[in-house]
Amino acid sequence: MNTVNIKINGYSYTMKHGITILDASFETMKFQREYLQQPIPTLYYLKGVVDVDDSGVCVVEVDGKLVNASTTRIHEGMEIQTRSEAVMGARREALAKILAIHNKSCVYCMRSTQCELQNLLHEYGFTDEEELPMSSIQPLDLSSVVLVRDNNKCIRCKRCVNVCAKVQAVSAIAATGTGLDTSIEPASPKGLAAASCVNCGQCVAVCPVGALTEKLQWELVKEAIADPDKFVVVQVAPAVRAALGESFEFPVGVDTEGRIAGALRRLGFDKVFDTKVAADLTIIEEANELVERVKNHGVLPMLTSCCPGWVKYAEHFYPDMLDNLSTCKSPHTMFGALIKSWYAEKMGIPKEKIVTVSVMPCTAKKFEITRPDECGAGVPDVDYVITTNELGKMLKDAEIQLEAISPSERFDEPLGDGTGAGVIFGVTGGVMEAALRTAVEKLTGKPLEKLEFVDVRGMNGIKEAAYELNGTTVKVAVASGLANANALLTRIKNGEADYQFVEVMACPGGCVNGGGQPHQLAAMRALQDIPAMRAAALYRSDDRSAVRKSHDNPALNKIYAEYIGEPGGETAHKLFHTSYIMR
């Protein structure tokens, strides 16, 4: 590898030849000695999505000239100043221009304290700037049931535009104009809801400010908890436990499962359950459906249906393949249907008095609960969805500190103890692996000697594998990120690929990287594989689980025997299966 010697703020470094000054600064962040870490601020940059930061804050001084650190490449002997008087002045000037057209209501902004612009303004000494005149305030785009778009806070970085087009192949948001005169608008003049938005929330995840946020439901949840006539049940998705700690300054990838259960009790929920039980339920139904399709020459490949962002994408862009979609609902809506049927009868509680709340890493779940055919027990399966971010806000509002709660607390029984297969649902490839653990045993009639299907693990956008089962080759594929899904489905439609089972997750890396997860700065995303670190927490949980196959979940087996009957049977179809529409 060719290297060059450079200096940053007087310190000498040996770096790979040809990288940008910004990349070099990221390399210095890996040094343990704090004085050697030389960060350069970024505001528009997002690794792999927006590689050029033209905000004006990503400047440094080289040989007495100001240059853009994201576009200027290093060479032998280069001397770089990242904090010179000229650099600091230029950055303040750039920030002032951005701030002049920015709504400054930080106190009321959901992204306050997690805002990349706010962090820079504090660092560069902005304290008392004039508010935007009311004549300049644009109305909010509230057309979506999932997202709120506030152009008064937009800094024209185009991260949302690029992630929607490049990573998700949707292009629901577009940009016109240049610089601070750029206009960021939905593809439809009627608002985001009228565009082909799939509600995945990746635009929310990458927005450096509060211009795009999830539509909040936590105040409605608090009202339900306070209503003595309501019995409020909460469930928590697997990916939440791998990320909530970040909102409380835990390191990335710390599993806070027990602490979450305790925190939710302190919030006043009547019952606190674990969605990984419903993930097991989904696998039992989905694996049964796959086996039936394989044996009876049904429509193949079967495509997973537990990701509502992916389902809506298919309805928009692949309506001719809707018969390939599994009819299984997603885990949290299956869980809601189970609570308002079997559990309501078991506990003697009228289903109309039960309020079901889902804590999800996903913004699209908010849309999913408004879909038709999501009322298995004759009432809505799920009443409210709050994201991981919202739960963090809710806990802080109630002055509940996650770190003060014992990690040994547990979810309530009988719906609080899922399997290892259920917990890995939160990572790309996890649904496939969990389904294979069950489907392979059903197809072969033999117990698996090795439960790990490593071929479908990892953060690659597309993964493929083939397994020999009783003389039949079962080919599978996994895609995360809708641009990858689009590429894979194009190959299938063109006859270039032949699979029996395909898993699709809208968000790159799966639910661990969902649009409702805690925000991470662009610099952190450049330095660390955040989704992989969160995913590792779920795989560790699977490894230490006493039961690791969904069909071995004793609580669910009892419920099937006493109430549901056979997987795929009449009761199961009524409660746990759904339908799709062409959009």
pTM for this entry: 0.94
pLDDT of residue 135: 72
Q: What residues does 50 pair with on adjacent strands?
A: 46
pLDDT tens by residue, 382-408:
999 999 999 999 999 999 999 999 999
Angle, alpha carbons 338-339-341 (nearest 5°): 65
pLDDT of residue 471: 77
Query: Three-class SS of residue 34?
Result: helix
Give residue 439's pLDDT band: very low, low, confident or very high (50, 70, 90).
confident
| Fold entry, domain 101-128+138-214 | Alpha-Beta Plaits (3.30.70)
Helix axes 482-493, 308-317, angle to 10 degrees: 50
Given a cut of 90, whether residue 300 has pLDDT beyond it is yes
Torsion sign across C-alpha atoms 410, 411, 413, 418: negative
**pLDDT higher at 444 or 333:** 333
pLDDT tens by residue, 448-475:
989 999 999 999 999 999 988 777 788 9
Contact 400, 263 (CB under 8 A): yes
pLDDT of residue 19: 95
Is omega for the bond preceding 319 within 30 degrees of 0, making it cis? no
> What CATH code would you report for 219-576?
3.40.950.10
Average pLDDT score over residue span 165-181: 89
Kindly state the tokens that stand for 348: 């003697």
Given a cut of 70, whether residue 234 has pLDDT beyond it is yes
* DSSP state, residue 146: S
Kindly state the tokens that stand for 252: 């990335």
* SS3 sequence of 231-299: EEEEEECHHHHCCHHHHHCCCCCCCCHHHHHHHHHHHCCCEEEEHHHHHHHHHHHHHHHHHHHHHCCCC
Mean pLDDT of all residues belonging to the chain: 94
- Of 516, 512, 538, 467, give the one whose Cα is nearest residue 146: 516
The owner of tokens 């029984």 is: 413
Residue 49 CB neighbours (<10 A): 20
pLDDT of residue 187: 83
Give residue 190's pLDDT band: very low, low, confident or very high (50, 70, 90).
confident
Question: Backbone dihedral region of 183: left (phi > 0), alpha (psi from -120 to 50 degrees) or beta?
Answer: beta
> What CATH code would you report for 3-86?
3.10.20.740
Residue 290 CB neighbours (<10 A): 28
φ, ψ for residue 84 (rounded to 5)?
Answer: -70, 165
pLDDT tens by residue, 102-115:
988 887 888 988 89
pLDDT of residue 476: 95
- Of 357, 331, 341, 349, give the one whose Cα is nearest residue 418: 331
- In 410-559, which residue ranges form alpha helices assigned H by DSSP? 420-423, 430-444, 482-493, 522-527, 530-543, 554-559
Domain ranges of the chain: 3-86, 101-128+138-214, 219-576
CB-count burial class (<10 Å; 0-12, 13-18, 19+) for 403:
exposed
Q: In the sheet that 472-480 helps form, which strands lie side by side, from edge to edge?
A: 302-303, 501-505, 472-480, 462-469
- Of 269, 263, 268, 270, give the one whose Cα is nearest residue 248: 263
Contact 511, 537 (CB under 8 A): no
Burial 85-114 (b: 16+ CB within 10 A, else e): eebeebbbebbeebbebbbbebeebbbeeb
Angle, alpha carbons 163-511-575 (nearest 5°): 125
Given a cut of 90, whether residue 261 has pLDDT beyond it is yes
Please give the Cα distance from 74 to 77 (Å, whole number).
Answer: 9
- Tell me the one-letter amino acid at 458: G
Given a cut of 70, whether residue 36 has pLDDT beyond it is yes
pLDDT tens by residue, 554-564:
999 999 999 99
Question: Backbone dihedral region of 56: left (phi > 0), alpha (psi from -120 to 50 degrees) or beta?
Answer: left
pLDDT of residue 1: 66
Kindly state the tokens that stand for 336: 């809601």
Kindly state the tokens that stand for 567: 């997987």
Q: First and final CA of the chain: distance in angstroms?
A: 51
Given a cut of 80, whether residue 128 has pLDDT beyond it is no
Query: Three-class SS of residue 510?
Result: coil
